[in-house]
Amino acid sequence: MLPVWVLSGDSARQPPLRAVRQGHLTAQKNQPTCGCLGGFDILSGCKQPGLPVYSQIMITSDDIKQLAARAGFDLCGICSAEPIPEAQAQFMAWLDKGYQAEMNWMAPEEQNLERRTDPSRLGIDAKSVIMLAVNYYQPNSDSVPVGYGQVSRYARGRDYHKVVENKIKKLLKLITTRFPDTTPEKFKWWVDYGPFMERAYAAKAGLGFLGKNGMLISRKFGSWLFLAEIVTTLELEPDDPNAVNHGRCAKCTKCIDACPTGAIVSDGVVDSSLCFSYWTVENPLHTSESVAAQNRHSLLGCDICQEVCPHNNKHRSILTAHDELMPDHGVGEFLSFEKILSMTTREEFLEMTAGTALTRPKLEGLQHTARIVKENRKT
């Protein structure tokens, strides 16, 4: 456990910190920079006369979690940056069986594999991993209207990459403002696109457990979570992964039984070549005929294995507090086949999708999927 050096004379707008070693701090007086009433405003970094600002403060895991909540994250957990051998082995077995389909960027070249499974290979002397989560749950309508296809919950609002990125940037600003000796060079971060086994580290950090559908499942939010990670040179106290009883799948096989294409081939293992999400997002122009024949609703992504999960019951399906992720900030829950198929230019496509995750399949990919779903809905 690292020592904590703290401020004395906390203001109402200053995060609570434990006073352990006073007398080892370097005080600096600052002139006012705004018209606030004084104190330390952690959101803006404004420092007013009357309260010293200290340049030598050891940050703790509790401090990180408090600031993560202020930055807008729903969950925050911390673990060591050491490799997770069982996760490495599972990932290698998944690749060996070709379950990555044509996602060649996951191919097991030695350098890529090392970076993906060992945080110390990510460009800094990593000591700890800060795992972060944002709840994105929103309910579905009772039915899909005639002439329309459905968009998965994660993609209905603003592009979640941008939403979560902004929260990470805010968190790092809070950290480096509140703790001046903690510089930006001590951190590297990603949101669902870096070479990182985020679900395994999220479980190690105590945010949840890995379900049979391969998703991280949290006691509070179920599996409706966007994950992000900050790798840091700071040595932070890790969380106990078993401190919270998130539950287990036990004998339940509802997700496996509900998948229309049999994509969940064993506990926690998904064959991408059988998954709607893969074909509608990553490779929409070359959809497998057997998979295409089963797609009656999904224009982008698929929520079936999450919708049937008992852990996503009404008590854990908590409406997201992040307005940007709601349908009225993006493309919405449904899209008209007529509108999609009538588009002829990239400009028309971007007018509808810019700033959302629906840009990923491009116009041609979205139209290809729309034709499949439209044809299947006739039967």
- pLDDT confidence bin for 26, thresholds 50/70/90: very low
The upper half-sphere exposure of residue 272, i.e. CA atoms within 13 Å in the direction of its Cβ, equals: 18
Length of the chain: 379
pLDDT digits (tens, 9 = 90+) for 189-238: 999 877 789 999 999 999 999 999 999 999 999 999 999 999 999 999 99
Residue 33 has pLDDT above 50, yes or no: no
Higher pLDDT, 22 or 286: 286
The pLDDT, as a whole number, for residue 106 is 76
- pLDDT confidence bin for 144, thresholds 50/70/90: very high
User: By mean pLDDT, which of 103-112, 290-299, 305-314 is the weakest?
Assistant: 103-112
User: By mean pLDDT, which of 6-15, 69-78, 130-139 is the weakest?
Assistant: 6-15
CA pair distance 255, 259, nearest whole angstrom? 6
Residue 51 has pLDDT above 70, yes or no: no
Query: Cβ neighbours of residue 379 under 8 Å, at least 6 residues apart?
Result: none
How many helices, marked H, and strands, marked E, lie in the chain? Answer: 12, 15
Nearest in space to 230 (alpha carbons), one of 169, 180, 178, 181: 169
The pLDDT, as a whole number, for residue 18 is 36
The upper half-sphere exposure of residue 322, i.e. CA atoms within 13 Å in the direction of its Cβ, equals: 27
H/E element, 199: helix 198-204
User: By mean pLDDT, which of 31-40, 67-76, 300-309, 351-360 is the weakest?
Assistant: 31-40
The pLDDT, as a whole number, for residue 19 is 33
Angle CA 197–131–153, to nearest 5: 80
The pLDDT, as a whole number, for residue 111 is 54
User: Could you give the 3-state DSSP secondary structure of residue 366?
Assistant: helix
Cβ pair 232, 125 in contact under 8 A: no
For residue 47, what are the β-bridge partners? 40
Q: What are phi and psi of 351, to 5 degrees?
A: -60, -35
CA pair distance 340, 351, nearest whole angstrom? 12
Average pLDDT over residues 282-294: 95
Instruction: Note every long-range contact of 319-322, with CB atoms under 8 Å and residues 24 or more positions apart, other chains counting.
Output: 319/137, 319/138, 319/139, 320/134, 320/135, 320/136, 320/137, 320/138, 320/224, 321/74, 321/135, 322/72, 322/134, 322/135, 322/136, 322/163
Residue 30 has pLDDT above 90, yes or no: no
pLDDT digits (tens, 9 = 90+) for 153-194: 999 999 999 999 999 999 999 999 999 888 899 999 999 877
Question: Tokens in use for 97?
Answer: 């069986």
User: By mean pLDDT, which of 25-39, 130-144, 159-173, 255-269 is the weakest?
Assistant: 25-39
**Per DSSP, which regions of 67-113 are E strands?**
75-80
The pLDDT, as a whole number, for residue 8 is 29
User: By mean pLDDT, which of 38-42, 127-131, 167-171, 191-195 is the weakest?
Assistant: 38-42
Average pLDDT over residues 27-43: 38
The pLDDT, as a whole number, for residue 268 is 96
User: Could you give the 3-state DSSP secondary structure of residue 254?
Assistant: helix
- pLDDT confidence bin for 107, thresholds 50/70/90: low
pLDDT digits (tens, 9 = 90+) for 319-369: 999 999 999 999 999 999 999 999 999 999 999 999 999 999 999 999 999
The pLDDT, as a whole number, for residue 108 is 59
Q: What are phi and psi of 370, to 5 degrees?
A: -60, -40
Nearest in space to 234 (alpha carbons), one of 129, 131, 82: 129
CA pair distance 237, 232, nearest whole angstrom? 12
CA pair distance 268, 211, nearest whole angstrom? 6
Q: What is the DSSP letter of 119?
A: G
Nearest in space to 5 (alpha carbons), one of 184, 181, 177: 181
The pLDDT, as a whole number, for residue 104 is 81
DSSP-assigned states of every residue in 6-45: --SS--TTS-------TTS--EE-----SSS-SSEETTTT
Higher pLDDT, 62 or 122: 62
> What percent of the chain shows pLDDT beyond 90?
74
- pLDDT confidence bin for 110, thresholds 50/70/90: low
DSSP-assigned states of every residue in 256-307: HHH-TT--EEETTEE-GGG-HHIIIII-GGG--HHHHTT-SSEEE---HHHH
Higher pLDDT, 104 or 164: 164
Question: Tokens in use for 36?
Answer: 């606030």
H/E element, 225: strand 225-232
Residue 53 has pLDDT above 60, yes or no: no
Residues taking part in catalysis? 192
